[in-house]
Chains A and B, each alone.
Chain A
Amino acid sequence: MSKPNPDDRRYTKEHEWALDNGDGTVTMGVTDYAQHLLTDIVYVELPDVGKKVKQMEPVTVIESVKSVSDIFSPVSGEVVGVNDILQDKPELINEDAFGEGWIVRLAMSDPAELDLLMDAAAYTALTEADKSAAH
């Protein structure tokens, strides 16, 4: 049911993705699998530009009608951009989690951290295991 996880990026076990932009920054969002679990997203609490985070610390919060979820930063660094369109159209995450629904751009303080994350194959295996556990 979920869209395939693109090979060009890395994944966390908390269902975030990070795409290396090649200029010392990454773009991050949540996976398509995650948006399914979250159901209809009604609000994204975007962080301020300049906010500093450590790897796997909460960087933002996503709300659905009946839940609130912390979204963790896949890498340490500083927020250098946010997807302002989400203010008005949080549903972009539901519609296009890997593209238009990106959430934050971060300047990495330690690019090596990316290697600690999963590749698409490993992440896909994780979600498959999750799904079968649920049944």
Chain B
Amino acid sequence: MDLIFEKSRTGRTASDIPSVDVPSIPLEGLIDEELLRKDVDLPEVSELDLVRHFTELSRRNFGVDLGFYPLGSCTMKYNPKINEEAARLPGFTELHPYAPASFTQGNLELMYELRLMLCELFGMADFTLQPAAGAQGELTGIMICKKYFEKKGEKRTRILIPDAAHGTNPASGALCGFETVTIPSNGEGGVDIAALREAMTEAVAGLMLTNPNTLGFFEKNIGEVARIVHDRGGLLYCDGANANAFLGRTRPGDIGFDLIQLNLHKTFSTPHGCGGPGSGPVGVREDLARFLPVPRVIRDQDRYRFSEDYPDTIGRVKAFYGNFNVMVKAYTYLKLLGGEGLKRTSDMAVLNANYIKARLSPYYDLAYDRMCMHECVFSGSRQVRSHEVHTLDIAKRLLDYGFHPPTIYFPMIVPEAIMIEPTETESKETLDAFCEAMIAIAREAEENPAQVRGAPCTTPVRRLDEVLAARKPNVSWPGEK
């Protein structure tokens, strides 16, 4: 389909600007002409052109409302519409971040209450809501670790990260100047305790552990892991990307995690919007709270206000207070579900994942054969070995069956990984239909591998040339030649 630029016709417009109702003089008298731009090179289309263009684009996009989206590690659950409606209330959208506190008591109360609910759910002493996404939450958490040791007068230069971790973990560690040390996984997909014990010296700030990990397993030895890290004075950081697995079942704070970052757009069902906005609150144990970013919402009697009065803070990671509108959605979700609903959420998420695991394990190799939490990881190795059909091919073939594929080739420690996270909002019928498709593809891989390798054939475009895109990058339209 054409680009909006190709649809542009000189003189068309989709907007009008109110006329100038105040006395004015020509701009050239106000601003040096050399500092003014010559032309605004934007497309010229009618409003209907615009609406048709973006509507057509939307029809070339797959969202949760269209179908099953078992993208592992992304928790693509249903996004309740009430959250969206609440977030559109003008009281929430129309306020300037510097509006006086007397204008914003509702917003401040919401942030205050959301913080308390997160503290209770995760067993942490305090939370900041400032980080804009999970990765920024990680960065904030690691900055807090760094500051903690600085204040203690300890020089710790390393941070430990399991090999199954998301790439954001080592990147966040490195951005704070830490040398990252990889801890291998053991035979059942958990932390290799001996390796951890050896690596965990007094030069190590701590361990960043995703729990459940990216294989979908809860760290069985978590008590021992925590002991090893704490015995050497380190901090135990929880990447809470997979928090959808244990709500109401356990609390990271009780387990011994000192910090955790959450992804509101995963666990608390704020939609991901094709890649954002997210929100990445960070929770900490009592003695780390003084390092949290500022400003923080406090309550004076019955009034709420911001306070900057935290001299040990790491500072700010974002302008203003975080992705407030995302918080509104998460808050609404929490209010509607309550403790009972959240527990059921995790229970059904784990049930669904284990059900898929059980149904597909005769047809695909399991990376590790044990009970999983909210997601299960298969390997496409069997299909590669027998029929030269790769995980990428299986994923593309799923498109022809109308499903969004799982996460593939991650975690990297599993060859040809297929990582399936069904989430709790999917019914047994949907899971069955997905499993039938996966089983059919396994059969196709045997009987007609070329068909799988040639997939997809029902999508608006077929497989795209990523090598060309990377060798000769074209990331902005040069216009008509």
- Which A residues lie at the B interface, using CB under 8 A? 40, 42-43, 63, 65-66, 90-91
User: In whole angstroms, how far apart are the Cα atoms of A12 and B467 in the complex?
Assistant: 28
Cβ of B81 under 8 Å from chain A = no
Pull 9 A–B residue pairs with CB atoms less than 8 Å apart, ordered by A.
A40-B467, A42-B467, A42-B470, A42-B471, A43-B471, A63-B470, A65-B470, A90-B471, A91-B471
Cβ of B39 under 8 Å from chain A = no
**Tally of contact residues, B, Cβ under 8 A:** 5
B residues in contact with A66, CB < 8 Å:
409
User: In whole angstroms, how far apart are the Cα atoms of A21 and B470 in the complex?
Assistant: 33
- B384 CB to closest chain A CB (Å) equals 11
User: In whole angstroms, how far apart are the Cα atoms of A40 and B467 in the complex?
Assistant: 7
| B450-481 at interface with A (beta carbon < 8 Å) | 466-467, 470-471
B residues in contact with A42, CB < 8 Å:
467, 470-471
Nearest to A40 among chain B residues (CB) is: B467
Q: Is the interface of B mostly helix, strand, loop or mixed?
A: helix
User: In whole angstroms, how far apart are the Cα atoms of A66 and B408 in the complex?
Assistant: 12
A residues in contact with B409, CB < 8 Å:
66
- B53 CB to closest chain A CB (Å) equals 29
User: In whole angstroms, how far apart are the Cα atoms of A132 and B95 in the complex?
Assistant: 65
A residues in contact with B467, CB < 8 Å:
40, 42, 65
A65-B466, A65-B467 given; 11 more Cβ-contact pairs under 8 Å: A40-B467, A42-B467, A42-B470, A42-B471, A43-B470, A43-B471, A63-B470, A65-B470, A66-B409, A90-B471, A91-B471
- A4 CB to closest chain B CB (Å) equals 25
- B413 CB to closest chain A CB (Å) equals 15
A residues in contact with B471, CB < 8 Å:
42-43, 90-91
- A11 CB to closest chain B CB (Å) equals 27
| B409-427 at interface with A (beta carbon < 8 Å) | 409
User: In whole angstroms, how far apart are the Cα atoms of A65 and B467 in the complex?
Assistant: 6
| B324-375 at interface with A (beta carbon < 8 Å) | none
Nearest to A89 among chain B residues (CB) is: B471
A residues in contact with B466, CB < 8 Å:
65
- A56 CB to closest chain B CB (Å) equals 19
A residues in contact with B470, CB < 8 Å:
42-43, 63, 65
User: In whole angstroms, how far apart are the Cα atoms of A32 and B163 in the complex?
Assistant: 29
- B475 CB to closest chain A CB (Å) equals 14
B residues in contact with A90, CB < 8 Å:
471
Nearest to A90 among chain B residues (CB) is: B471
B residues in contact with A43, CB < 8 Å:
470-471
Which are the 5 A-B pairs with shortest beta-carbon distances? A42-B470, A40-B467, A65-B466, A42-B471, A65-B470
User: In whole angstroms, how far apart are the Cα atoms of A65 and B466 in the complex?
Assistant: 7
User: In whole angstroms, how far apart are the Cα atoms of A43 and B472 in the complex?
Assistant: 10
- B177 CB to closest chain A CB (Å) equals 19
B residues in contact with A91, CB < 8 Å:
471
- A2 CB to closest chain B CB (Å) equals 19
Which has the most chain A C-beta neighbours within 10 Å: B409, B466, B470? B470
Nearest to B468 among chain A residues (CB) is: A42
Nearest to B471 among chain A residues (CB) is: A42
Nearest to B409 among chain A residues (CB) is: A66
User: In whole angstroms, how far apart are the Cα atoms of A3 and B338 in the complex?
Assistant: 64
User: In whole angstroms, how far apart are the Cα atoms of A66 and B409 in the complex?
Assistant: 10
- B465 CB to closest chain A CB (Å) equals 10
